Amino acid sequence: MKRTYSSILLAFLACISISLKAQNTVVPREVKKTFFYSFENVSSESQIATLKQNVSFLKGVSEVKSEYKAEKNMGQIIVVVIEKERTLEGDWQFDIRDLKKAIIQSQLTPLELTQEESFIEN
């Protein structure tokens, strides 16, 4: 009889432990980050097309748009990145330095960077 109570108590404690662990598991939300990076020294629209193509290959990029002001030889690239909310120090995060490198490799001069961030509701 004592063994039965011990077995029931052990099973009950195991269920509570599993339940508590499940409640403490946090599912990271998705974050939509939009980067606006302006640049100058645009000599042709093909430079911007090449830049857009190179940026589209960067990890995490889901959308790339551009704006071009021919009269000022300036432009702006708009990059949308979808990533998981950071919960640990080692979690992957989009590296903005890769975007700057792509601008420089397209023989453009990076100017100003701004960023917007919002959570994606499931």
Domains of the chain from N-terminus onward: 30-120 (3.30.70.100)
Dihedral angle of Cα 81, 84, 87, 88, to the nearest 10 degrees: -70
The 3-state DSSP class for residue 108 equals coil
Q: In whole angstroms, what is the distance from residue 114 CA to residue 8 CA?
A: 59
Per-residue pLDDT of the chain (122 residues; tens, 9 = 90+): 556 666 665 666 566 666 655 555 667 788 899 999 999 999 999 999 999 999 999 999 999 999 999 999 999 999 999 988 877 777 778 999 999 999 999 999 999 999 999 988 76
Query: What is residue 47's DSSP assignment?
Result: H
Q: In whole angstroms, what is the distance from residue 64 CA to residue 50 CA?
A: 12
Burial 38-64 (b: 16+ CB within 10 A, else e): bbeebeeeebbebbbebbeebebbeeb
